Structure 1
Amino acid sequence: MPRDTLTREQIVNAAVELLDAEGLEGLNMRALGKRLGSAATAVYWHVGSKDNLIALAGDQAWNEIALPDLAATPWRTAATRMATDLHAMLTRHPWLLQAFGSLLMFGPGKARHDDHNLGVYEAAGFTGATADQATAAVFTFVLGNALGPAAAASVTRKLGREGGDAEQLMRDGIAEATEIAAHFPRLRERLETGAAGYGAGPDDSFDFGLQAILDGLEARLALRQSTR
């Protein structure tokens, strides 16, 4: 695709697809140019640098999160929807978690999300620093829960690049971990459960944890109101 017909939107969309498939380590301008039918130099001309392209791709992903109408949606319902959508988005794009550790990731898409997310907790009754703290508590919980799927995807890709059958190598690794866990009583009891997989947890762990945090936030609001 010639430079004059190639658009930034096309490049960012293709970058998201490549990142989803190959992770950060699989993104390079030559591979992206090939996917677009264009030269790597044309890609650089539109986005400037690889880091800038990753930032653009990441910011586009934030726009996938729906923003509930705060005037028509109870705050806990809105908080649950946004947290669940964020978790789903990070699971679809596990490379975004990788990027957080090495790049400054902030743009209009993330700002849109963050501003509305603060509005959810302000609608609940949190103000000032307490609204920031409530938002951060839920946000970091979601990030932590998304690390498992992201780690599993990264490990699978790494094993595949090293050659051989990635799935078999993963099974071998889990078998070794299982053998180690069998020597510890509490881990041994859980070897046949949903928590035994790499980076996994029991079924409904995310919902359980999210609602527990929201319960705690709601209790803090009730306590504050009762002491006024």
Structure 2
Amino acid sequence: MATRTAHDALSRDRIVDTAIEMLDAGGESGLTFRALSTRLKTGAGAIYWHVANKDELLAAATGAVLADVLRGDEADTTPQDAIRAIALGMFDAIDGHPWIGGQLAGLASRSASLRIIERIGQQVQAMGMPAGQRFFAASALYSFILGVAGQNAANARAREHGTSRAETLGAEAQLWANLDAAEFPFLRGVAAQLGDHDDREQFLAGIDLILAGIGIAR
């Protein structure tokens, strides 16, 4: 009978799934091959059999979390709705896994980034955007998605322990409402909206504004 080796007992999927759990719990700094080895109850060599280094592991974890976004089907839908679906899929993924934002902004997950930008770009092209403007339109959408989704996730992490979103926004809304009316007329006017707005609705409204601009520029 053949001897079963350490790397035979593992699979790449199991390693990636465990890495995602560790990233969700402690962020990128909490993921080391030593900690991963301890969690999987194996040696680092068995892990290196499946992934060459941490960058490859982070890229694989990012791709796994974004799998549904990356393989979306645009058949029987408008380019605008396809872009909204991509955007909301990324928003929800970053909201649930905040470390993804940093990965998509860097080179470690270049494969995932390229595929998402390609999907957005194809939809921009399908909307009839002139060739000279497609890069700018797709870049604006991608940057908005990463920026707003990442900021939303950062806000969630920054809240004090035991303080709810409603309490945090309520306090900030009250501060806006009490600002000097002559110096801050806009902020006072929208203070009530800040206190009870839906983050996904606000995010999608921004996407729709960009899409409307693309429509005008065609």
TM-score strictly above 0.5: yes
Aligned to 2:99: 95
Q: Is the deviation greater in 39-48 or in 12-21?
A: 39-48
Shift of 1:174: 8.7
Superposition TM-score, scaled by structure 2 size:
0.76
Instruction: Quickly say closer, same or farther: Cα 1:145–1:132, change in 2 above 3 A.
Output: same
SS in 2 for 1:64: helix
Match runs of 1:165-204 below 5 Å: 166-167=161-162, 184-185=179-180, 186=184, 193=192, 195=194, 204=201
Q: How does 1:85-124 map to 2 (within 5 A)?
A: 85-100=89-104, 103-107=107-111, 109-124=112-127
Amino acid at match of 2:74: D
Residue 180 (structure 1) shift: 7.5
Taking the aligned partners of 2:14 and 2:213, their CA distance within structure 1 comes to 44
| In 2: Cα distance, 1:122 partner to 1:175 partner | 42
Amino acid paired to 1:136: S
Give the CA deviation at 1:102: 5.3
1:146: Cα distance to partner?
A: 0.7
Deviations 1:98-136 (A, max 9, x none): 2345543212x4443332222111111124342222111
Superposed CA RMSD: 3.4
The residue aligned with 1:140 is 143
Aligned pair 1:23/2:27, yes or no? yes
Letter in 2 for 1:39: G
Q: Which residue of 1 aligns with 2:44?
A: 40
Q: Does 1:68 align with 2:73?
A: yes
SS at match of 2:101: helix
What CA distance in whole angstroms lies between the structure 2 residues aligned with 1:194 and 1:32?
44
Aligned residues: 208
- Cα distance in structure 2, aligned partners of 1:43 and 1:118: 36
- Tell me how far 1:201 sits from its aligned partner: 7.4
Could you tell me the TM-score, scaled by structure 1's length? 0.73
- The structural deviation recorded for 1:23 is 1.2
User: 1: distance between equivalents of 2:52 and 2:86?
Assistant: 32
Matched, 1:152 2:152: no
Matches of 1:15 and 1:176, distance apart in 2 = 37
The answer as to 2:11 corresponding to 1:7 is: yes
Are residues 45 and 152 of structure 1, via their aligned partners in 2, closer, same or farther at CA, if it must alter by over 3 Å? farther
**How far apart, in 1, do the equivalents of 2:59 and 2:33 lie?**
15
Q: Which runs of 5+ in 1 are unaligned?
A: 160-165, 222-228
Q: 1:154 to 1:25 in 2, by over 3 A?
A: farther
C-alpha contact 1:24 1:99 (8 A) present in aligned 2: no
**CA contact 1:62–1:110 (8 Å) conserved in 2:** no
Correspondent of 2:212 among 201, 215, 219: 215
Aligned residue identity for 2:120: N
